[in-house]
Amino acid sequence: MKMWAGRFQKESDKALDAFNSSIEFDKRLYKEDITGSIAHATMLGEQNIISKEASLEIIEGLEKILEDIENGSLEISPDAEDIHMFVEQVLSERIGDNGKRLHTGRSRNDQVAVDIKLYLKRMVGEVKEELITLLETIHALASDHTMTVMPGYTHLQRAQPISFSHHLLAYAQMFMRDITRLTDAYNRADVMPLGSGALAGTTYPINRYRTAELLGFADVTKNSLDGVSDRDSLMEVTFCLSMIMSHLSRFSEEIILWSSHEFAFIELDDAFSTGSSIMPQKKNPDIPELIRGKTGRVYGDLTTLLVMMKSLPLAYNKDMQEDKEAFFDALDNTIACISIFTKLLATIKVNKDKMRAAASKGFINATDCADYLTKKNVPFRTAYKIVGTMVAYCSEKKIGFEDLSLDEYKEFSELFEEDVFTAISLDECVMRRDIVGGPGPGSQKTQLCELSEFIASAKK
């Protein structure tokens, strides 16, 4: 029998039950639902809205339900309409009339809103933990490669030499921003909607601040219509997850490129690579490819939420039941991706020689060669032109700048001296780019230090 059966003359159609039900996916909110109800019942008792005995009996009953679900002795019934109905039904079956007092001054609309926020707050913590482990892994790897020279690219064409640590630490910047972005979204989500009722609050003298305190919310929502209608925090956090996936997918793409024979900058560990069913020589980067693929899926979840909320009138509409699957899917996949990517990154083998060899070709030191002349007071555009003709000359002869004699240099400009060879050496080119934010060793040290400090404060 339905909780709301009184108003109806007929049993609901089985097809409606199946279509309407959300228990299959909202059962994962059982802990938040029970915690929310315990806080509500505590407050109801304290305010004498229900008797102290009723409050205690409800709390004990709910604690037992939580224990039984967790130890497997109480199975969440697939026949219930949703997790909220299920918990309340079991409570009433177990303790009778007092169980029926739990829903005093509350609606499923503010109940589901508080449950999802409690869950969101817990999961934001988990995502951040995964990101911190990833940052620690990047820190460890980058520390080993502050002097490893590699080509930096634009348009995927060799551009200027950088250190491998610099490339890795660029991703650290993105993941640090992801963590602060999540903190930001968390803080905005940290207001409790319970007490909004169905839409118009309640006539009972409830104490919303007390319930918020019991549930660990920083504040309460300030408009009951907004309290039950608002799914901003879900969309915001799903955007944060999409952004994380965007960063992970770019990193994955580079891992895929770097592990190809054409680059061979890194080798993936056997434990994190896959083979081919037909080509015995293959070692495939399935993990980063799947991360790239799942990025689209998480963007899809964000689109689902945005479109689902678009143009909904206030306050609660059943459309909003659709928020959970998209949000849970985005969370599950993002957490799984960060976690496996971290393991993969921790085990890569770096081929320094290949990186250096790639940086030695392609006139990657052309800018430095031009800078050499500008330091001798040649205007940059003129120096640029001189080095351009040198590139054409060397390309024709299939040689690099290193292979030119000083006499040949002098044919392009009298200002070239013996020290040009050091000035355009790979290591010099990287070392001298040591401004704030540059790939040079001093900047690497600073970036690593700041990353350590960030990690330490994020762990608090």
Binding region for ligand ARG (CB under 6 A):
22, 26, 82, 108-109, 112, 316, 318, 320-321
Phi, psi at residue 116, to the nearest 5°?
-70, -35
Q: Is 139 a catalytic residue?
A: no
Q: How far apart are CA 11 and CA 368, in angstroms?
A: 81
Q: How far is the CB of 229 from ligand ARG (least distance, A)?
A: 12
Q: Which residues make Cβ contacts (< 8 Å) with residue 337, sequence separation at least 6?
A: 245, 248, 290, 291, 294
Secondary structure (DSSP) of 70-98: HTTSSPPPTTSSSHHHHHHHHHHHHHGGG
Q: Please identify, using beta-carbon distances, which residue of 28 and 356 lies nearer to ligand ARG.
A: 28
3-class DSSP assignment, residue 435: coil
Token pair 């207001």 in the structure block, residue: 191
Q: How far apart are CA 378 and CA 362, in angstroms?
A: 24
Q: How far is the CB of 325 from ligand ARG (least distance, A)?
A: 10
Q: Is the dihedral of CA 41, 95, 111, 298 positive or negative?
A: positive
Q: How far is the CB of 316 from ligand ARG (least distance, A)?
A: 5
Among residues 73, 155, 311, 457, which one is catalytic? 155
Q: Is 145 a catalytic residue?
A: no
Q: How far is the CB of 317 from ligand ARG (least distance, A)?
A: 9
Among residues 12, 77, 260, 276, which one is catalytic? 276
Cα separations in angstroms, 34 against 52, 186, 275? 19, 21, 46
Q: How far is the CB of 198 from ligand ARG (least distance, A)?
A: 7
Q: Please identify, using beta-carbon distances, which residue of 32 and 82 lies nearer to ligand ARG.
A: 82
* Cα 35 → chain centroid: 26
Q: Nearest 5°: CA angle at 217, between 198 and 61?
A: 65
Q: Please identify, using beta-carbon distances, which residue of 320 and 359 lies nearer to ligand ARG.
A: 320
Q: Please identify, using beta-carbon distances, which residue of 197 and 288 lies nearer to ligand ARG.
A: 197
Q: Of the candidates 15, 28, 20, which has an alpha carbon nearest to the alpha carbon of residue 83?
A: 28
Q: Please identify, using beta-carbon distances, which residue of 82 and 236 lies nearer to ligand ARG.
A: 82
Active-site positions read 155, 276
